Amino acid sequence: MTVRRHVTYGGMVQGVGFRYTVTRLARARPVTGFVRNLADGRVELVAEGAEGQVLGLLADVAERLGGHIHGAQVVEEPATGEFGDFGIMF
């Protein structure tokens, strides 16, 4: 079953290579979506794929970047299939 998670991370998540690290982690898994900086200093991540892969990605992000994250809001949304791969959105 394909799922979608929309996550907003707060903390010291800009200017520390957060987007590039997330992209590397995501490309190691069969997930699609994007990561981008938000104007208010947070980072937004949208990921679609098999539930285990998406949850695994979020766990990887927490493990690798948890020292920079001070709050994450995770929203479950219906998968749309709109992404062909995972990348940084500018």
Residue 1 contacts residue 50 (beta carbons within 8 Å) = yes
Residue 89 contacts residue 22 (beta carbons within 8 Å) = no
19 is catalytic: yes
Angle ∠(62,47,56) on CA atoms, nearest 5: 45
Task: Determine which one of 36, 37, 42, 64 is catalytic.
Answer: 37
37 is catalytic: yes
Task: Determine which one of 19, 24, 29, 42 is catalytic.
Answer: 19
- Active-site residues, by number, are 19, 37
